[in-house]
Amino acid sequence: MRAYVGVTDNRWFNFLARQKFDEVNFWRPGGRGSFRVLEPGELFLFKLHSPLNYIVGGGWFVRFSHLPTFLAWEAFGQKNGTETFVEFEQRITRYRGASLDAQAQIGCIILASPFFFSQDEWIPVPEDWKPNIVQGKTYDDSTSEGRTLLDQVLRQISKGSYAEEVGETAPYERGRVGILRPGQGAFRIMVTDAYNRRCAISGERTLPVLDAAHIIPFSERGSNSVTNGLLLRKDIHTLYDTGYITVTDDYHVEVSRNLEGDYGNGRIYYAYHGLLLPNIPHKTAERPDIEALRWHNEQVYRG
């Protein structure tokens, strides 16, 4: 089992430790580089800045993505670790040492089911931790330091309060990973990335007008899995949710005849009728679930 210990902004930690969020965005101010250290479901741990050399919490890794600041805020809001969007951008600017423009992006490490230890539960960093580490370090159970750290962390989060925080099904045995329960923010980013930031039906690329739509709504016990999502332009999303547009189980677009009957218009939408879905995820595992599409056809679409 692996875990990554990330050096954490103390104010970010202190703000989020007071909340009860189901997910958080551990952001990096730079818009370059990547994070390929963990697989989904592995542990990402928080270490405070020196001289507070302790592991103070963590979460289960979901995804890494480069996002413009507006989208990071729309997706996660205060789960970014600040009260307001203005404060969020001010903190990024201070770390970058330069003002932000409309194209500025940050690195976002998205974590599910975060947990925060009380001060008397903080775990000292492993003996091999170097004071010159800026971003973080990976540990696994193949070394004595890694085994000790993982055992301490997993023992801590196995306690009642943390077990409830991260979900009863999350396993805490060394050698296993967490069962992910992505939140709404993670869902939005997973779907946005899966569709290469283009509307599934129209191909629109203007990111501010794109939404991650649930095929089966969350209110109907739909999940936040990427396979239960479609990236849609906002107007198309509205028509999809209200049953005037659907996607069939063979990935064709259908537009209800009731759209014109109810509103006396809809010409721009009927142009999509019968088309094979123009934009679909490259990865088969991220494509819309067939059964979910059938549910929408049968339960929502106005036919």
pLDDT at 180: 66
pLDDT at 162: 63
**Cβ 78 vs Cβ 39: under 8 Å:** no
Per the structure, the count of domains in the chain is 2
List the CATH number of the domain containing 130. 2.30.130.30
Is residue 215 domain-shared with residue 142, that is, in the same domain?
no
For residue 178, being part of any structural domain is answered with no
CA distance 149 to 157: 12
Structure tokens of 217?
């709504």
CA distance 217 to 179: 21
Is residue 228 domain-shared with residue 111, that is, in the same domain?
no
Question: Where in the sequence is the domain holding 157, given as residue range(s)?
Answer: 2-166
Over residues 113-158, the pLDDT tens digits come to 999 999 999 999 999 999 999 899 999 999 999 999 999 999 998 8
Q: Determine how many CB atoms are found less than 10 A away from the CB of residue 26.
A: 26
Is residue 194 domain-shared with residue 112, that is, in the same domain?
no
Is residue 295 domain-shared with residue 210, that is, in the same domain?
yes
Residues in the chain where the model's pLDDT stays below 50: 167-177
Is residue 36 domain-shared with residue 145, that is, in the same domain?
yes
Is residue 16 domain-shared with residue 51, that is, in the same domain?
yes
